[in-house]
Amino acid sequence: MELAYVCEWEKRPKSTHCPSIPLVCSWSCRNLVAFTTDLKSEDDDKSTQIHTRTHTHRRTHKHTLNLMFCFPDVSHMIHIIDTEHPWDVFSINSGHTEVISCLEWDQSGSRLLSADGDGQIKCWSMSDHLVNSWESVLSSSLDGDPIIALSWLHNGVKLALHVEMSGSTNFGEKFSRVKFSPSLTLFGGKPMEGWLAVTVSGLVTVSLLKPGGALLTASESLCRLRGRVALADIAFTGGGNIVVAATDGSSSSPVQFYKVVVSVVSEKCRIDTELLPSLFLRCTTDPLRREKYPAVTHLKFLTRENSEQVLLCASNQNGSIVECWSLRKEGLPVNNIFQHRSPVVGEKQPTILKWRILTTTSDLERVSAVALPKLPISISNTDLKVASDTKFCPGLGLALAFHDGSIHILHRLSLHTMGVFYGASSAQRPGDESAIKRQRTAGPAVHFKALQFSWTSLALAGVDNHGKLHMLRVSPSMGQVLEMNTTLRHLLFLLEYCMVTGYDWWDVLLHVQPSMVHNLVEKLHEEYMRQNQALQQVLATRIVAVKASLCKLSTATAARACDFHAKLLLIAISSTLKSLLRPHVLNTPDKSPGDRLTEICAKNTDTDIDKVMINLKTEEFVLDGPPLQSLQQLIQWVGDFVLYLLANLPNQGSMVRPGFGFMRDGASLGMLREMLVMIRIWGLLKPGCLPTFTATSDTQDSMLLLFRLLTKLWLCSRDDGAPQDPDDSLIDECCLLPSQLLVPSMDWLPVNDGVMVKLQGKHPLRLQFGKASSLPSNAPPTPLEVFNRTPGSQRMDNLRCVHMGVCPTEESKACTRCGCVTMLRSPNKTNAMKQWEQRWIKNCLCGGLWRRIPPTFT
């Protein structure tokens, strides 16, 4: 493990150092991190009040004194960042009146739940689909009853990642769908959305989102005798039930488990609860440790979909101990009286469910935070053996943060140590007495109060007691030395998992070195081509986006990243233009006009565009004028792109330039041919929609010339034959193109301004919230002049393909992944262009999320 970057506040607030005030952190599958700080400034010291509450346990009549710190002038903020631009923090004045105790993302990573110590639960969603603009859309409340556990209802989607099948060529064998029922279903089996929470007083409350947007809420006691619940956690079973684990915080008390069943009866939410087998901590039954660890400080199910394994941590002021328990089915012993009777055919021995301890740790430092893996790795004996042999560790380790500032990664089943990170305040190694003395005199150590794994378990996000956000790399092999091929295979396996699930792969890129990029891209393409045709169509754009992200990590492949982004735009424009085609007769054959166009253009190798048009049913291309005219900017981009590719064909030498990847891409060149044919036909109906070229001769037919040269290049790289190098005559004609047509300067996507390209070194970055300038500019200069932008150059709307001017005044948004910039508000009034813009309202072409950027940053 090693530190990747630290992001701190410009004016560091003073920490309260109060253990009763929790910090919470949550990491979404789209690589958004939400966290709280609840720190106060120096001016708030005078307003701090200390209140005492006396709790009396019902049965033991023991009195406990709790200190509560109240900050009347401190607003409880929720901070949300995307991990690629951590300085661009969006701080929400949550409106919570008490300290925020829970944060929970939904499965899509687009909505966030927050809960506080006053029983308030709020649901946040993106405003205008921007990661740095959030609003509260729904809320529920149990006034005065603090929330201690919170979860979205399960949607029934569960995958299992099989390490044993990592060498298989079939994605379906590597990542299998597990039969799992949603917590609640609507008509037709559609999962119903909602959330579930557990309160301190032992209540479970459920809020269901009805299809119309209304909220259906109900509450029920976990058991008949309600008692104080200090810690709780929520898990789900494959049968659609919910399991809640709860404890009153005392290690001498049992840890209770409850089955919760949610249903809707007569338009009302109904909750049924049932008591399940409970357990006592092992440390309380040990005579030497019975009184040593009086409090249970952490209670977690090992995974969200596994209610049969639980992690418990008991602590005192100076240390902790961790235990891992498993629920097993055991045979019930039969009394001797019944053993001598004749057995009945088919009779089985009665069984019961019983908690058994799997393993326990020795005495540890005091635990301050726990993070559990989210990667759904299969833990069958075969998968575990293959993972051990190949040293594949993601998903097998859980993280414990200690009060000395260190983090230990332990195996989730055996609890043996897999890796250790020594924090900033505990950089000393064991035995460094001088460092320990300095730490004691300097006051409380900096330690993590909240910790979260990424969705592939290759990164850890932690918030310390000073409000700093730390991002840590977690090695796939936990620091064990591997051969390069094995390392590539591990990273490839996780990239494929992200492709199949749609999760963001940012944390995988943390471990990709520039020298690995080329091999990863080639191997990823090989695995993709081995899948069936249907799956290839589903993953067609996603794999291009993954390749683009990989190529940005190396200056040697930066030009290929431009090609992949251009390919994404090309695919989008092609599907949009083809969708405008309508069959002339209603009783259409099995093929659409777009499919017939593809088939005819693939068979017809004629270099004359007019001869290709003869074989098409031109009535299918008849459209009204306004849609064609409004899409002229996209049509213009296609024409400019073809001209740029052909004019730069002679320049593709030893240095890879943008456009090189298209020279042997027969599918993309064929797509460009099809669009030129469509544009040619539309130009006969509406000449204003044609792309404009600056020609040196008035008689020059630019479309005819470009189609002829493009067809010759396409014939060299067709899929049905071996690729050939362009002949000398084609290269000579392309050399003459700049003297016949003015070659435009393509505005390639900017090199991303995020942190990923800066993390190639081993030194961690020191960043400040709210300051993009805090990102060091130590990257080597880009060797290609196409990436350089002069201060007076035109700014480009990369999505609408229009210029925004040298100093655009319009508010803009940028992609968090690829850096694509587009205007926030649409300047178009026509329906055709609005439909194009609506396709990208939630996500960029590459699938990344949008973030608002000020006009000066575009």
DSSP state letter for 556: G
Q: Is 725 exposed, middle or buried (0-12, 13-18, 19+ CB in 10 A)?
A: exposed
Which two structure tokens, joined as six digits, stand for 326? Answer: 């498993």
CA atoms within 13 A on the CB side of 831: 5
Q: How far is CA 336 from CA 329, 340, 341, 347, 694, in A?
A: 22, 7, 10, 17, 101
Cα separation, 403 vs 391, in Å, equals: 29
Q: How far is CA 760 from CA 459, 490, 505, in A?
A: 15, 19, 16
Residue among 331, 327, 197, 158 at smallest CA distance from 257: 327
Residue 244 CB neighbours (<10 A) = 24
Distance of CA 501 to the CA centre of its chain: 10
Strands 2-8 and 765-768: parallel
Which two structure tokens, joined as six digits, stand for 689? Answer: 């929609």
In the sheet with 469-473, reading across from the earlier edge strand, the strands are 448-453, 459-464, 469-473, 2-8, 765-768
8-19 burial by CB neighbour count: b if 16+ within 10 A, else e?
bbeeebebbeee
Which two structure tokens, joined as six digits, stand for 176? Answer: 């299998």
Sequence-distant (6+) residues with CB within 8 A of 707 are 607, 608, 609, 673, 676, 677, 680
Cα separation, 653 vs 350, in Å, equals: 76
Contact 205, 140 (CB under 8 A): yes
> What ranges in 761-805 are assigned the alpha helix state H?
none
Residue among 820, 808, 819 at smallest CA distance from 854: 808
Residue 790 has a pLDDT of 59
- In DSSP terms, 408 is beta-bridged to 400, 420
Q: What is the 3-state secondary structure of 802-822? A: EEEECCCCCCEEEECCCCCEE
Contact 203, 145 (CB under 8 A): yes
Cα separation, 305 vs 299, in Å, equals: 16
Sign (positive/negative) of CA torsion 330, 336, 337, 343? Answer: positive
Residue 344 CB neighbours (<10 A) = 7
Sequence-distant (6+) residues with CB within 8 A of 178 are 158, 159, 160, 238
Sequence-distant (6+) residues with CB within 8 A of 105 are 26, 27, 28, 29, 32, 34, 111, 112, 113
Cα separation, 378 vs 580, in Å, equals: 46
Q: How far is CA 562 from CA 64, 544, 746, in A?
A: 64, 11, 10
Contact 153, 195 (CB under 8 A): yes
Contact 113, 152 (CB under 8 A): yes
Cα separation, 189 vs 608, in Å, equals: 54
Residue 57 has a pLDDT of 42
Sign (positive/negative) of CA torsion 703, 708, 713, 718? Answer: positive
Contact 96, 139 (CB under 8 A): no
Q: Give φ, ψ of 521 to 5 degrees.
A: -65, -45
Q: Give φ, ψ of 603 to 5 degrees.
A: -80, -35
Residue 536 has a pLDDT of 93
Q: Reduced to 3 states, what is the DSSP secondary structure of residue 495?
A: helix
Contact 651, 657 (CB under 8 A): yes
Contact 257, 309 (CB under 8 A): no
CA atoms within 13 A on the CB side of 4: 27
Q: Give φ, ψ of 43 to 5 degrees.
A: -70, -20
> What ranges in 432-590 are assigned the alpha helix state H?
433-441, 484-501, 506-509, 517-529, 533-538, 540-551, 558-579
Residue 54 has a pLDDT of 39
Q: Cα angle at 725 between 720 and 729, to 5 degrees? A: 115
Which two structure tokens, joined as six digits, stand for 802? Answer: 């229009």
- In DSSP terms, 61 is beta-bridged to none
Contact 330, 403 (CB under 8 A): no
Which two structure tokens, joined as six digits, stand for 85? Answer: 């631009």
Cα separation, 275 vs 404, in Å, equals: 39
**Which residue type is seen at 498?**
C
Contact 584, 621 (CB under 8 A): no
Dump strand ranges (E) for 231-366: 231-236, 242-247, 255-265, 268-279, 295-303, 306-315, 319-331, 351-360, 364-365
> What ranges in 250-327 are assigned the alpha helix state H?
282-285
Distance of CA 568 to the CA centre of its chain: 20
**Count of all residues that appear for the chain in the document:** 858
Contact 726, 716 (CB under 8 A): yes
Contact 830, 836 (CB under 8 A): no
The CA radius of gyration of the chain, in Å to the nearest whole number, is: 31
Which two structure tokens, joined as six digits, stand for 411? Answer: 């195996």
pTM for the model stands at 0.89
Residue 207 has a pLDDT of 95
Contact 354, 338 (CB under 8 A): no
Distance of CA 482 to the CA centre of its chain: 27
Task: Walk along the chain (858 residues) in steps of 10 and give the mean pLDDT of each run.
Answer: 84 48 86 80 38 38 36 67 91 90 93 94 94 92 92 94 90 92 88 95 94 89 89 95 95 94 90 94 82 92 94 93 92 72 65 91 94 93 91 94 93 92 56 44 72 95 90 91 92 95 94 93 94 93 95 88 93 91 68 83 88 80 76 92 91 74 89 92 86 86 92 84 80 91 78 78 85 62 50 80 83 90 86 88 93 71
Residue 50 has a pLDDT of 33
Q: How far is CA 340 from CA 249, 330, 505, 687, in A?
A: 47, 22, 63, 98
Residue 42 has a pLDDT of 39
The secondary element (H helix, E strand) that includes residue 505 is none
Contact 633, 800 (CB under 8 A): yes
